[in-house]
Amino acid sequence: MNTLARKILMAATGLFLCFFLLIHFLGNTQLFLEPEHAQKGFNAYSKFLSNNFLIKGVSYLLYLSIIAHAIYGIIITNKNNKAKGSYKSDHRGRASKWYSRSMGVLGTLILIFLVIHFQNFWYQYKFGEVGLDPYGNKDLYGVVVASFQNSWLVVLYVISMIALAYHLIHGIQSGIRTLGLFHPKFVRWVNVFAVIYSIVICTGFALMPIYIYFTT
Amino acid sequence: MKLQLKIWRQVDRNSAGKLESYQLDNVNHHMSFLEMLDTLNEQLITNKERPVEFDHDCREGICGQCGVMINGIAHGPLKNTTTCQLHMREFKDGETILIEPFHGAGFPVKKDLKVDRSAFDRIISSGGFVSVNTGQAPEANSLPVSHETAEQAFDSAACIGCGACVATCKNGSAALFTSAKITQLALLPQSEKERKTRVIDMVNQMDKEGFGHCSNTEACEVECPQGISVLNIARMNYEYNRANFFKHKK
C-alpha cells in the first residue's frame, strides 16, 4: 500500500463516519422532546435500530471503519514522523491551521471519548441491566438521563464535541480532496460545507447532555 | 548592520551536525541573504576556517537551487520568495538569525546547508516527461490547446523544485512537487498517452524515496516561492484514482 492508497482509506472511512454522525444526530434530536415523548420515541427508535438486520450490517461496517481509521491513523502518523525533518528553530506553524496539524491528537481524544461513550450507552444497552419503559421497550432514554446527571460526564462530552468539530472541519475537506475533488469552485464550497456541517452537528451533540443536565 | 548567526555545520552525510555561532559586523541591508553568507565565508576564509557550504546557482529566484530554513521558516520570513531574493533589509540590526538546511527522510544533508535533493530528479525520471519521437516540430494547430488550459498547465510548471514544500511539511511530504508535474502534464494533449502510467509510477517513486503522506495542511502552498496551489495535490489524487479505476489487467 502506498501513501495515496492509505490516505484514500482514511478518507473513505472518515467520510463514512461523518455520514453516520448525521444519522446518529438526527435520531438523537428526539432527546430534545418533552420527557414522555422523548422516552417513547427514543426507546422505540433504539429498538428499531437494534432489531433491523440492515442496520446490523451497517453497524459492523461502522465498527470496522472506526478501527481501520484509528489503525491507519497510527500507521500514517508513524511513517510521517520518520519522514519529516526536525528543526532547532521551528516557526513552520505560521503557514497552516493548528487543527490541520493536530489531527492525530484530536483523533486520539475522540477515540478515548468513543470508548467511554460505548461503555456508557452501547455496552449498557447490549449487555447491561436496563429496565423497560411503559411500552415494553428497553429504557435507553432512562440510562441517558441518569448518565447526564453527572456534571463531569457532561463536561467530558462537551470537550469531546469541540475536539470532534475541529477534527471534522479539517477532515471533511481534506478527505474530499484526497478522493480527488480539485475544481477550485467546488473545493471552496466543500470548505464552507465542512465548517457548517461540523459546527451544526457538534453543537447539536454538545447541547444534548447540557439540555438533559439542566432540565431533568 | 551587525548580525549574530547560528548556522548548521555538518562535515559530511554520516556525521552529526550542530549549530555554530558567528558574528558578522559589516552587513549592508541591500545585500541578498546569499551575499550575506558570501561575506561570512570571506571572513571565515581570511581566518583560515572552513567556509559554510550552501547550494545556489542563478540568484534570480528561478533555478530552485538555493533554499535554507531561516529562523524556522523555509526561505525566510518573506512569502513567495526564494532565499536568494530575500534581502537583509527584512532583518533588524543586531538580530540573531538561525540557519538550517532543508531536510527529511527524502532529503539527506550532504554538508552544512547543502542537501541531496536528487530524490526529486528520480521522481521526475520515473514519469515526469513526454515520450515523443524526435524530428521536426509538429504543426501547432494539429494539437489545439486553449489559452486557459495552457495557462493552468504553466501555473503548475512554474515549480522550481527547491524543496521548500518538503521542508515546510510537518509530514515531510513531496506531494506538492510531484503533483505539480503530474497536473501540468495531465492538462496537455501531448502527454495524454502516458497519463495513467505516469501518475502511478511517480507516486510509487515518491514513496520509495521516503517522503511522508500529504495531510492537506496547505502549509506548502503558503511557503512555496512560486505559490504552487495545493489543488495540484487534489488533481494528483484524482489522476491516481482515475488511473487505478480504469487500469487494464495485465
Q: Which residues on chain A place their C-beta less than 8 Å from a C-beta of chain B?
A: 2-4, 6-8, 76, 79-80, 82-85, 87-92, 94-97, 100-101, 103, 170, 173-174, 177-182, 184, 187
The position carrying cell 506531494 is B175
Beta-carbon pairs below 8 A across chains A and B: 142
Q: Hey, are the CB atoms on B234 and A103 less than 8 Å from each other?
A: no
Closest CA to B175 of A174, A173, A170, A13: A174
Contact list, B167 vs chain A (CB under 8 Å): 85
Residue of B nearest to A99 (CA): B217
B128: exposed, middle or buried (C-beta count within 10 Å: 0-12, 13-18, 19+)? buried
Number of Cα atoms under 13 Å in the Cβ half of residue A98? 4
Q: What is the pLDDT of residue B132?
A: 76
DSSP codes, chain A: --HHHHHHHHHHHHHHHHHHHHHHHHHHGGGGS-HHHHHHHHHHHHHHHHH-HHHHHHHHHHHHHHHHHHHHHHHHHHHHHHHS---SS--GGGGS-HHHH-HHHHHHHHHHHHHHHIIIIIIHHHHS---B-TTSSB-HHHHHHHHTT-HHHHHHHHHHHHHHHHHHHHHHHHHHHHTT---HHHHHHHHHHHHHHHHHHHHHHHHHHHHHHHH-
**B243 has a chain A CB within 8 A of its CB:** no
Q: How many other C-beta atoms can be found within 10 angstroms of the C-beta atom of residue B88?
A: 21
Of A103, A173, A179, the CB nearest to B237: A179
Checking DSSP bridges between strand B114-115 and strand B73-74, what pairing results, if any?
unpaired
Contact list, B242 vs chain A (CB under 8 Å): 180
Interior CA angle at B118 toward B115 and B119, to 5°? Answer: 105
Q: Is B22 helix (H, G, I), strand (E, B) or coil?
A: strand
Of A8, A90, A177, the CB nearest to B216: A177
The position carrying cell 487505478 is B244
Contact list, B207 vs chain A (CB under 8 Å): 2-3
Q: What is the pLDDT of residue B250?
A: 63
Q: Hey, are the CB atoms on A182 and B237 less than 8 Å from each other?
A: yes
Measured CA to CA, the distance from residue B177 to residue B165 in angstroms comes to 7
Of B72, B172, B222, the CB nearest to A84: B172
Q: Is B39 helix (H, G, I), strand (E, B) or coil?
A: helix
Contact between residue B231 and residue B221 where contact means Cβ atoms under 8 Å apart: no
Interface test with B, best of A80, A99, A172 (most B CBs within 10 A): A80
Q: What is the pLDDT of residues A111-167, one digit of tens each?
A: 999 999 999 999 999 898 888 998 989 999 999 999 999 999 999 999 999 999 999
Measured CA to CA, the distance from residue A70 to residue A107 in angstroms comes to 8
Of A7, A87, A170, the CB nearest to B214: A7
**Domains identified in chain B and CATH numbers:** 3-111 (3.10.20.30), 118-130+145-245 (1.10.1060.10)
Q: Hey, are the CB atoms on B207 and A2 less than 8 Å from each other?
A: yes
Q: What is the pLDDT of residue B138?
A: 78
Provide the β-strand partners of residue B4. B23, B96
Kindly report the nearest CA distance between residue A188 and chain B, in angstroms. 11
DSSP codes, A83-100: HS---SS--GGGGS-HHH
**B155 has a chain A CB within 8 A of its CB:** no
Q: Quick one: cell of A90?
A: 521551528
Q: Is B133 helix (H, G, I), strand (E, B) or coil?
A: coil
Contact list, A170 vs chain B (CB under 8 Å): 216
Of B98, B172, B231, the CB nearest to A89: B98
Q: What is the pLDDT of residue A60?
A: 94
Q: A19 CB contacts (<8 Å, ≥6 apart)?
A: none
Interior CA angle at A81 toward A79 and A87, to 5°? Answer: 150
Q: Hey, are the CB atoms on A95 and B222 less than 8 Å from each other?
A: yes
Write out residues in chain B with pLDDT < 50, as ranges.
none
Contact list, A173 vs chain B (CB under 8 Å): 216
DSSP codes, B210-224: T--------HHHHH-
Contact list, A177 vs chain B (CB under 8 Å): 216, 230-231, 233-234, 237
Checking DSSP bridges between strand B109-111 and strand B96-101, what pairing results, if any?
unpaired
Along the 216 residues of chain A, how does pLDDT read in single tens digits? 899 999 999 999 999 999 999 999 999 999 999 999 999 999 999 999 988 999 999 999 999 999 999 999 999 999 999 999 899 999 999 999 999 999 999 999 999 999 999 999 999 998 988 889 989 899 999 999 999 999 999 999 999 999 999 999 999 999 999 999 999 999 999 999 999 999 999 999 999 999 999 998
Q: What is the pLDDT of residue B60?
A: 95
Q: What ipTM score was computed for the predicted complex, to two decimals?
A: 0.92
Q: How many other C-beta atoms can be found within 10 angstroms of the C-beta atom of residue A133?
A: 19
Contact list, A179 vs chain B (CB under 8 Å): 237, 241
Contact list, A88 vs chain B (CB under 8 Å): 6, 8, 19, 98, 100
Kindly report the nearest CA distance between residue A162 and chain B, in angstroms. 19
Contact list, A76 vs chain B (CB under 8 Å): 213, 215
A151-178 and A3-28 helices, crossing angle to 10°:
130
Q: What is the pLDDT of residues B68-82, one digit of tens each?
A: 999 999 999 999 999
Measured CA to CA, the distance from residue B171 to residue B174 in angstroms comes to 9
Helix (H) or strand (E) run with residue B138 in it: none
Contact between residue A67 and residue A17 where contact means Cβ atoms under 8 Å apart: no
Q: Phi and psi at residue A32, in whole multiples of 5°?
A: -85, -5
Closest CA to A171 of A107, A84, A114: A107
Q: B192 CB contacts (<8 Å, ≥6 apart)?
A: none
Residue of B nearest to A186 (CA): B231
